[in-house]
């Protein structure tokens, strides 16, 4: 991958393995995850705490992490000293549901929870210098952006390359095409709902270890993705685990 916006170099779409093989490691980079959930999430049943997520990220060599709960922006300030002692930069974020679609709003100091429409997102971007990321935009789920990507292309600063893919089934391919067509960088995210998901896909960002610098570097295209396809057993196991945990922990079951 090359170019100022981190787009794929070849005019024809390469295979996922080619994308991952073309990662360029810069001289000073941070390993970054911008899409992770914890037990504080109001919508999904997540077994790990924020401190457990931080510990896992540190053990894998991450330099920065955004906690992005569904429709709630976690106040990460109490966690900052714990993370900083371990060399990890915490970034505030939220996975906001807008017109039924998921959007990552990263490093906005205030107002992200109040966003209701795509016009609200545009106004939020005018007020503050956060980062708007399209998560799993072309996956086959109702909450994925899909047509909204073309309806609101100027809203998105980056496009997610999601870790849930195999060498033969990859819903990220349209995301790569869209990013290339619109000159947007790709960011590699794990969409962490279980700790073992962290690490197979990530971003390397050429930036100082603070949230503002990381977001600005991504906007400027100083980011490369590193990704490894899951084998089919791991992919099926993860999906089954998520579904089973949700079923067993539905309100009123116990």
Average pLDDT over the chain, rounded to whole?
89
pLDDT surpassing 50 at residue 242:
yes
pLDDT surpassing 60 at residue 160:
yes
Task: Give tens-digit pLDDT for 165-207.
Answer: 999 999 999 999 999 999 999 999 999 999 999 999 999 999 9
pLDDT surpassing 90 at residue 85:
yes
pLDDT value at position 6?
44
Query: Would you say the pTM of this structure is higher than 0.85?
Result: yes
- Mean pLDDT of the region 217-240: 95
pLDDT value at position 249?
52
- Terminal-residue alpha carbon distance, the chain: 50
pLDDT value at position 239?
86
pLDDT band (50, 70, 90) for residue 122: very high
Whole-number percent of the chain with pLDDT over 90: 81
Task: Give tens-digit pLDDT for 14-61.
Answer: 444 445 544 444 447 999 999 999 999 999 989 999 999 999 999 999
pLDDT value at position 243?
74
Task: Give tens-digit pLDDT for 64-80.
Answer: 999 999 999 999 999 99
pLDDT surpassing 60 at residue 1:
no
């Amino acid at each position: 991958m090359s170019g100022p916006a981190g787009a794929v170099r070849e005019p024809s779409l390469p295979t996922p393995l080619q994308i991952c093989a073309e990662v360029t490691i810069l001289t000073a980079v941070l390993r970054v995850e911008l899409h992770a959930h914890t037990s504080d999430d109001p919508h999904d049943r997540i077994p790990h705490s924020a401190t457990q997520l931080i510990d896992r990220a540190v053990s894998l060599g991450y330099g920065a992490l955004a906690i992005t709960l569904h429709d709630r922006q976690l106040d990460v300030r109490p966690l900052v000293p714990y993370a900083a002692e371990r060399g990890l930069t915490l970034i505030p974020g939220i996975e906001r549901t807008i017109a039924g679609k998921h959007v990552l709003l990263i490093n906005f100091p205030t107002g992200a929870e109040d966003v209701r429409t795509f016009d609200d997102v545009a106004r939020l971007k005018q007020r503050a210098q956060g980062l708007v990321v399209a998560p799993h935009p072309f996956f086959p789920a109702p909450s994925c952006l899909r047509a909204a990507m073309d309806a609101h292309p100027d809203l998105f600063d980056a496009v997610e390359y999601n870790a849930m893919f195999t060498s033969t089934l990859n819903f990220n391919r349209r995301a790569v095409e869209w990013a290339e067509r619109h000159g947007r960088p790709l960011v590699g995210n794990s969409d962490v709902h279980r700790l073992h998901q962290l690490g197979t896909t990530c971003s390397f960002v050429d930036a100082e270890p603070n949230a503002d610098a990381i977001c600005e570097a991504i906007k400027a295209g100083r980011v490369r993705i590193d990704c490894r396809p899951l084998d089919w057993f791991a992919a099926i196991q993860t999906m089954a685990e998520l579904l089973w945990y949700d079923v067993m922990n539905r309100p009123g079951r116990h």
